[in-house]
Structure 1
Amino acid sequence: MEILAALTVLDVRTILLGIAVFLVVLRFLRRPRNPPPGPWGWPFLGNLPQLMLSGGEMHENFSKLTARYGNVVSINLAGMSMVVLHGHNTVKEAFSRQQLSDRPPAYMTTMVAPGHGFLASSGENWVELRRFSMTVLKKLGVGKSAFEQNIVTEAEIFLEEVQKHGGEAFDPKPALGNAVGNIISMVVFGKRFQYTDPSFKRLQQANSDLALQAGAGSVFEFSPVFNKLTMLPFVRSYAASLRNYYGQINQLIAEHSKEKSADHQEDLIDIFLSERKIKEEQGVENAALRPRNLQHIVGDLFGAGSETTATSLRWGMLYMMAYPEIQTRVQKELDDVTARNRLPRIADKPELPYTEAVLCEIQRIGTISPLGLPHATTEDTTIAGYNIPKGMTLMYNIWHNHFDPLVWEEPEKFRPERFLDGDGKFRSREEFMPFGTGRRMCLGEHLAKMELFVFFTYLLHHFTMKKPDHVPAVSFEVEQNSSLRAPQNFDICLIARD
């Protein structure tokens, strides 16, 4: 009996060992030949522990790996295998291909709010949603000169709001968020909100909370492991933030038709509902116009079109406080063009090369979206000679590209001259990619550029930005664990110019 028991135990161990060997061999066989190199990971958690224990932000840790593994690095984050791309030429080559235009599954959002928007969709869904969204933005004049007046109106209201502080120190984040949020609200809801409007304040807070909870790289969203670990507090918090955000969006959509007034402008919701009705009458099914997609289209536009621009403007305020000589030079250029008897206009941009260079340097050194949004391969492909299998998640390290010393001399320093030629004229840099690159680059690039220019020039036309006396030094510390690379909250003094 003892011998039989021993044999039974041995058989169990042999079977378990055989299974383990089989799984290892199967994993080896399923790996593509010549895969990108990368560090060995822990069981189940992959490289997540090393990256977290090494300190620093995720994009910085990825960047450090290039010294050993090169510009194409294989990473595993808690069951989510991915390839992280570095270097302008590598990224440009990769994202010029149609095979890299999908997104990995957005597990958490799909679970909380079924449906698709243009940010996280793939395949034909994405083609239809992007086409619809671009058509709407074009119809509403977004990115065109005619839309400038909407931005100007909100910028003037914003200036009136900050003037109330009378040069005393205040936190500009709430007012900036309200102002930029109202511009995209005109697009999706057909109206602007009073800054004290309770529903607008709830939406803004929900948007900020979601950005903070998501975390850089959206590990919760795209990991097939984390989305199932709902007992973990941070996973529950992220899911709660998603529910709150889409709850606020859906409430405003529901109230939309009840609040039509004489001054209501046509908006995205109107066009969506009108187009859907026409397709239904024609008996045509359109993937973009499914009812549950509306919350995502509105949510994508509002989320991507408000928090990002407001964050860039806050970086701009910090750098103007820290570099008063650069601020003075921008003000002189603005004064020379406007003669101080009118406000700057977007049409003035060709005459404001230094101002445009400063705005680009703010976006480069700020790099608010350091890892962009992940892509996924639609078929087997190669990048820089490495084999990448179908369905692989790909991320590109924008921060690495914006701080690459081989491209930018002393990248840690704030130097607007990087974007000027020898004659002092503005020059674009193809290595500069704050809005991404390829087929899935930011849909709202033109609107964001208009907003940044108008708000930045209006502020410097009216005010000089100064560090409050109670603050020992301007801090460039970033908000921790946010999906955006945002500065920590700060106070500023806006001193009215004569």
Structure 2
Amino acid sequence: MEILSALTVLDVRSLLLGVAVFLVVFRFLRRPRNLPPGPWGWPFLGNLPQLTWYGGELHENISKLTARYGKVVSVNLAGISMVVLHGHDTVKEAFSRQELSERPPAYMTQKVAPGRGFLSSSGESWIEIRRFTMAVLKKLGVGKSAFEQNIVTEAEMFIEEVQSHGGKAFDPKHAMSNAVSNIICTVVFGRRFQYTDPAFEQLLKVVHEFVLQVGAGSVFEFSPVFNKLTMLPFVRTYVACLRSTFDHINLLMKEHSKEKSADHQEDLLDIFLSEKKIKEQHGVENAALRPENLKHIVRDVFGAGSETTATTLLWGMLYMMAYPEVQVRVQKELDDVTGRNRLPRIADKPELPYTEAVLCEIHRLETIVPLSVPHASTEDTTIAGYNIPKGTTIMANIWHNHFDPLVWEEPEKFRPERFLDGENKFRPREELMPFGSGRRSCLGEQLAKMELFVFFTYLLHHFTIKKPDHVPAVSCEGKYGIMWVPLKFDICATVRE
């Protein structure tokens, strides 16, 4: 019996050793030659455990790999063979190339809501959808000086809301999201909503839920493994958030099709339906105008022009509380240019170099999308001398680029002066890329920059932002969902004389 028991233990050990050897040999033989280097991973899970389960944020942990593997690193996240790019030169060169401008399959989203927007589409469909969306935004004046009044209207409403608290502590997040989201509502639905409108409140709720609660689920959107494991809690949460978002967008679109108010203006939905009708009459097929794509385009426009902007402005408030001396200098610059009797305008921007430098430094320190939106290769190609097989998922570690000590002196410190030259004039730096780079850079960049400038200058022109007395210290800690967002915080806003 003892001999049989010993043989059984030996057989089990031999079996385990054989499986381990097989996996190693299989991986070695299966792995194409000259791929970018990277760490070995677990079967099925890949590098998921060491990159996400042992502390630290995903973008930080991947960044640490560059010390051993260089600027181009291969990782595997639960079946996603991914190449992560580091260094602004590497990212700029790679993302300017057509063969690296596709999107990987969005498995979960397509199950919930088939269709494509300009964020998720690829190839000719992407070209047509992006061209259509840009034409609509141009027609509606988005990004142009004429659109400034739409932003000013909401900025003034925001200022009134802040002033209503009488200098007492309050959480500015809801008011900021209301204001910025309403700007996009004028583009998409042709009207602004009252902040107490139930439909508007529900829209903000589902969007916030999606941004804050999905967590790592957004990474596994592109995983051929995890999209099938719907019993996992974070996958269920992600799918529920997706479904809720699209259900509410569909509801608002149906409401839009009903009788419109007298003050209704032409909007994205009107132009979509009008263009679709014209194309159908002429028998012309256009990928952008397929009915299933409209809800995706609407979601993408909100994502590109509201949540990222509102989040950046919230970070701006935090930094003004944490660095009152910077706030004082911005206010002095504003007063020198505009005086106390008029509000800043976008035309004043060239005369406000320090203010613009502060906004850039906030972009750098609190990179809203640390790992960019995934790209995919359409053919076998190379990056930095390494082979990149067709279909590889490619991401840019924007956070790494914004904290690279070889580029930014003392990168952990808040120093707006790094965006000024020797004469204190604004100095743009190509290493800063909060809106991405290349062919798939953010379509809403110009709108976002206008919104950021108007809201930030209006806020500091009217108020001094202070830390509430009950808060021991200002915390600039964040939380990573789809975006890097600040933890809940309160401010006190006292009216300036």
Q: Structure 1-normalised TM-score?
A: 0.95
Instruction: Give the structure 2 partner of residue 473 of structure 1.
Output: 473
Instruction: Give the structure 1 partner of residue 11 of structure 2.
Output: none
Q: Which amino acid aligns with 2:488?
A: N
After superposition, residues 17-416 of structure 1 pair within 5 angstroms as 28-215=28-215, 218-416=218-416
1:439 aligns with 2:430: no
Shift of 1:257: 1.9
Q: Is the 8 A contact 1:216 1:371 kept in 2?
A: no
Instruction: Give the structure 2 partner of residue 484 of structure 1.
Output: 483
**SS, match of residue 131 in structure 1:** helix
**SS, match of residue 478 in structure 2:** coil
After superposition, residues 413-432 of structure 1 pair within 5 angstroms as 413-432=413-432
1:299-322 Cα distance to aligned partner (Å, 9 max, x none): 111123211100000000000001
Distance (Å, rounded) in 2 between the aligned partners of 1:349 and 1:216: 38
Q: Is the 8 A contact 2:37 2:72 kept in 1?
A: yes
Distance (Å, rounded) in 1 between the aligned partners of 2:164 and 2:240: 36
1:147-190 Cα distance to aligned partner (Å, 9 max, x none): 00000011001111111100000000000000000001111111
Q: Is the 8 A contact 1:220 1:227 kept in 2?
A: yes
1:28-77 Cα distance to aligned partner (Å, 9 max, x none): 44433211000000010000011123311100001101011111110000
Q: Which amino acid aligns with 1:439?
A: R
Q: Is the 8 A contact 2:218 2:238 kept in 1?
A: no
Distance (Å, rounded) in 2 between the aligned partners of 1:315 and 1:355: 15
Distance (Å, rounded) in 1 between the aligned partners of 2:109 and 2:127: 20
Q: Is the 8 A contact 2:272 2:289 kept in 1?
A: yes
Distance (Å, rounded) in 1 between the aligned partners of 2:220 and 2:239: 9
* Residues 64 and 21 of structure 1, relative CA distance in 2, 3 Å threshold: closer
**SS, match of residue 471 in structure 1:** coil
Q: Which amino acid aligns with 2:160?
A: E
Shift of 1:215: 2.5
Shift of 1:118: 0.6
* Residues 67 and 456 of structure 1, relative CA distance in 2, 3 Å threshold: same
Distance (Å, rounded) in 1 between the aligned partners of 2:216 and 2:128: 28
Distance (Å, rounded) in 2 between the aligned partners of 1:214 and 1:389: 30
Shift of 1:476: 0.8
Q: Is the 8 A contact 2:214 2:237 kept in 1?
A: no
Distance (Å, rounded) in 2 between the aligned partners of 1:440 and 1:259: 37
Shift of 1:23: 7.9
Shift of 1:432: 0.3
Distance (Å, rounded) in 1 between the aligned partners of 2:406 and 2:73: 19
Q: Which amino acid aligns with 1:437?
A: S
Q: Which amino acid aligns with 1:395?
A: M
Shift of 1:213: 3.1
Shift of 1:22: 8.3
Instruction: Give the structure 2 partner of residue 4 of structure 1.
Output: none
Shift of 1:359: 0.7
Give the gaps of 5 or more residues in structure 2: 1-13
* Residues 478 and 259 of structure 1, relative CA distance in 2, 3 Å threshold: farther
Q: Is the 8 A contact 2:349 2:356 kept in 1?
A: yes
Q: How many aligned residue pairs are there?
A: 485
Distance (Å, rounded) in 2 between the aligned partners of 1:18 and 1:343: 74
Q: Structure 2-normalised TM-score?
A: 0.95
Give the gaps of 5 or more residues in structure 1: 1-13
Distance (Å, rounded) in 2 between the aligned partners of 1:377 and 1:25: 27
Shift of 1:193: 0.6
Q: Is the 8 A contact 2:108 2:239 kept in 1?
A: yes
Distance (Å, rounded) in 2 between the aligned partners of 1:462 and 1:18: 71
Using the aligned pairs only, state the percent identity. Answer: 78
1:449-471 Cα distance to aligned partner (Å, 9 max, x none): 00000000000000000000000
* Residues 42 and 22 of structure 1, relative CA distance in 2, 3 Å threshold: closer
Q: Is the 8 A contact 1:371 1:398 kept in 2?
A: yes
Instruction: Give the structure 1 partner of residue 5 of structure 2.
Output: none
Instruction: Give the structure 1 partner of residue 6 of structure 2.
Output: none
Shift of 1:263: 0.8
Distance (Å, rounded) in 1 between the aligned partners of 2:314 and 2:15: 61
Distance (Å, rounded) in 1 between the aligned partners of 2:50 and 2:325: 42
* Residues 235 and 69 of structure 1, relative CA distance in 2, 3 Å threshold: same
Q: Which amino acid aligns with 1:453?
A: F
* Residues 467 and 18 of structure 1, relative CA distance in 2, 3 Å threshold: closer
Q: Is the 8 A contact 1:102 1:123 kept in 2?
A: yes
Q: Which amino acid aligns with 1:485?
A: W
* Residues 315 and 18 of structure 1, relative CA distance in 2, 3 Å threshold: closer
Distance (Å, rounded) in 2 between the aligned partners of 1:28 and 1:112: 37
Q: Is the 8 A contact 2:87 2:401 kept in 1?
A: yes
Q: Which amino acid aligns with 2:175?
A: A
Moved more, 14-23 or 358-367: 14-23
Runs of 4+ in 1 over 3 A off after TM superposition: 14-30
Q: State the superposition RMSD in angstroms.
A: 1.9
**SS, match of residue 190 in structure 1:** coil
Q: Is the 8 A contact 1:468 1:491 kept in 2?
A: yes
Distance (Å, rounded) in 1 between the aligned partners of 2:287 and 2:21: 45
Q: Which amino acid aligns with 1:442?
A: C
